[in-house]
Amino acid sequence: MPETQLIIGLHAVRTALKHGDAVTEILLESRRRDARIKEVLNLARQAGLKPRQVEGEELDRLAQGGNHQGVAAYTRAPAVMDEAFLKQLLAGLDLPPFLLVLDGVQDPHNLGACLRTADAAGVQAVIAPRDKSVGLTPVACKVASGAAETVPFIQVTNLSRTLKWLQQQGVWLIGTAGEAESELYQADLKGPLAIVMGSEGKGLRRLTREQCDSLIKLPMLGAVESLNVSVATGITLYEALRQRS
């Protein structure tokens, strides 16, 4: 039996219904009859699903304090890929690799936001270590707004070994670090590329930093010393997209 997970809220359920056949069951609050609920009903019919009417109290219990907006759904959990998949992916690419590496991101909101931005920027896969980093939790998938199903998420046993293998395949590793001398807008982000982002608190681990071919930093002109990792990822990926376009 495939593992399932609960997603809540109008946007999350609408997005899941629009991205293939991952939804297995839809729960609707029986008293809701507004236009947004009708849109979910129409999408469900198109997917061949008959929503189950439930009381608001049941949705409250399932959502555990989350804002369900009168709708929830069970979906097949997105698959987490491994090193073997990464090798197959690179072998089958027609374009230069464009990858995102997250070294120890632990907040599911940050992972979800990074996945969403990676999808928008055309990243072919997101890579993370299995240990000391968050996986595809329901919260991460909700924040990703469908990107958890469209962008391969690869968890590897040994990140340093994977980075070394990527270098052997001709992929240039560019890490972000506050102590870097070069700034983002000075970097060449074309060609086979992996952007390497650090964790929320400590940034890149020492071994990861040493593995990178070069380090860059985002220009910081105000009083704060750093940006949230998902914001920094978005800025960096879109500068890479601008150059690669």
Q: Which of 67, 79, 50, 93 is nearest to 7 (CA)?
A: 67
Q: Tell me the backbone φ, ψ of residue 215, rounded to 5 degrees.
A: -120, 145
Tell me if 227 is assigned to a ligand binding site: yes
Helix or strand run (H / E) with residue 214: strand 214-217
Residues in the chain: 245
Tell me if 218 is assigned to a ligand binding site: yes
Match 């989350």 to its residue by tokens. 66
Measured CA to CA, the distance from residue 148 to residue 150 in angstroms comes to 6
User: Is the distance from CB of 173 to CB of 211 less than 8 angstroms?
Assistant: yes
DSSP states of 43-97 as a string? HHHHTT--PEEE-HHHHHHHHTTS--TTEEEEEEPPPEE-HHHHHHHHHT-SS--
Q: Which tokens in the block code for residue 96?
A: 């230069």
Binding positions for S-adenosyl-L-methionine are: 198, 218, 227
Binding positions are: 198, 218, 227
